[in-house]
Structure 1
Amino acid sequence: MESDPVTCPHCGKRNRVPAAAAGKPRCANCHQWLPWIAAAGDGDFADVAETASVTVLVDLWAPWCGPCRMVSPALEQLATERAGQLKLVKVDVDKAPAISQRFKVQAVPTLLLLDHGQILARQAGAAPVAALRDWLNHALSAGSGKEASS
């Protein structure tokens, strides 16, 4: 399973990036880390999100949700800034009811930070990129095994 082609922010080359892989994606041309952005659903969430070699930012969203559409570019920006360190996995809650139930999603967007399937942090609602960056930095500095909430 592959995600949409990714344009390298360093050289502009378009690359195919697998949704699930053992390593981390690099540009075929300049070998810089690529933003890793993939979609997942009930059937492939474990492969795409829980076995990732990097920390995973899960965006639980819905197509009818205005705040979800507003926060999406900010999340993609964070994934680009942290290429090689972070994977963004987008889950459409309408198409993935089991994932929504598993993570007790009551509002969208809901953001989860996962390390090998374990929740490091959780945040409900949209926020500007600076606030999301602060939340992400705080959650990552808090260490694994602790759930941070905002």
Structure 2
Amino acid sequence: MSSALKMTCLECSAVNRVPADKLSAGAKCGTCGARLNDGKVRALDPATLAKAQRNDDVPLLVDFWAPWCGPCRMMAPAFEQAARSISPQARFAKINTEDHPNVSGKFGIRGIPALILFQNGKEIARQAGAVPAPAIEQFVRRKARL
């Protein structure tokens, strides 16, 4: 029997347990039925981010961005490409710092885009500035316990 990994549904915020050997089998949320790890980038609010940050065993890379930020908009396709490429080993999400200005202060973000990698209840790494998809993937593979 494989160990279970905790994953917060990025749609409804429910915490789910997924057998590790079933991670790539298209696991769905037991509450809302959304796919837990489908390689898509999800938009987060601060409450869902806090819950996922606190609970998730699977690495979660969060892009802190704003719509007025040129480098943020330029990096968005690369971030989505990296999310598809590295799934199901890690999940990717974005939080709009314009809509949620308190998150910048909470996480000590001084410039955007900023990538923060969370796993097992803590921040494990951060990367500042726009980077291409291969560099994003390498960052996650190097820093996370995959």
> Is TM-score (shorter-chain normalized) higher than 0.5?
yes
Decide whether the 8 Å contact of 1:56 with 1:86 is kept in 2: yes
Identity rate, percent: 31
Q: Which residue of 1 aligns with 2:4?
A: none
Q: Which residue of 2 aligns with 1:44?
A: 48
Structure 2: 5+ residue stretches without partners: 1-8, 29-36
Q: Which residue of 1 aligns with 2:83?
A: 79
Cα offset for 1:105? Answer: 0.7
User: Which whole-Å CA distance do the structure 2 matches of 1:54 and 1:27 have between them?
Assistant: 13
User: Which whole-Å CA distance do the structure 2 matches of 1:82 and 1:113 have between them?
Assistant: 14
Residue pairs, 1:15-30, within 5 angstroms: 21-23=15-17, 26=26
Structure that is richer in helix per residue: 2
Cα offset for 1:89? Answer: 1.5
User: Which whole-Å CA distance do the structure 2 matches of 1:99 and 1:119 have between them?
Assistant: 14
User: Which whole-Å CA distance do the structure 2 matches of 1:84 and 1:18 have between them?
Assistant: 19
Letter in 2 for 1:22: N
TM-score under structure 1 normalisation? 0.69
Higher relative CO (Cα under 8 Å, sequence separation at least 6) belongs to: 2
Deviates more, 1:81-90 or 1:104-113: 81-90
SS at match of 1:22: strand
Cα offset for 1:124? Answer: 0.7
| Aligned length, in residue pairs | 125
**Against the structure 1 CA distance between its residues 18 and 73, is the aligned structure 2 distance closer, same or farther, given a 3 Å change threshold?**
farther
Q: Which residue of 1 aligns with 2:38?
A: 34
C-alpha root-mean-square deviation of aligned residues, in Å? 2.8
Letter in 1 for 2:130: A
Q: Which residue of 2 aligns with 1:120?
A: 124
Cα offset for 1:132? Answer: 2.0
Deviating above 3 A after TM superposition, structure 1's stretches of 4 or more consecutive aligned residues are 17-21
User: Which whole-Å CA distance do the structure 2 matches of 1:72 and 1:50 have between them?
Assistant: 25
| 1:115-144 Cα deviation digits (max 9, x unpaired) | 13411111110011222222222212xx59
TM-score under structure 2 normalisation? 0.71
Cα offset for 1:57? Answer: 0.2
Q: Which residue of 1 aligns with 2:65?
A: 61
| 1:22-56 Cα deviation digits (max 9, x unpaired) | 1568178xxxx621422112233223444334100
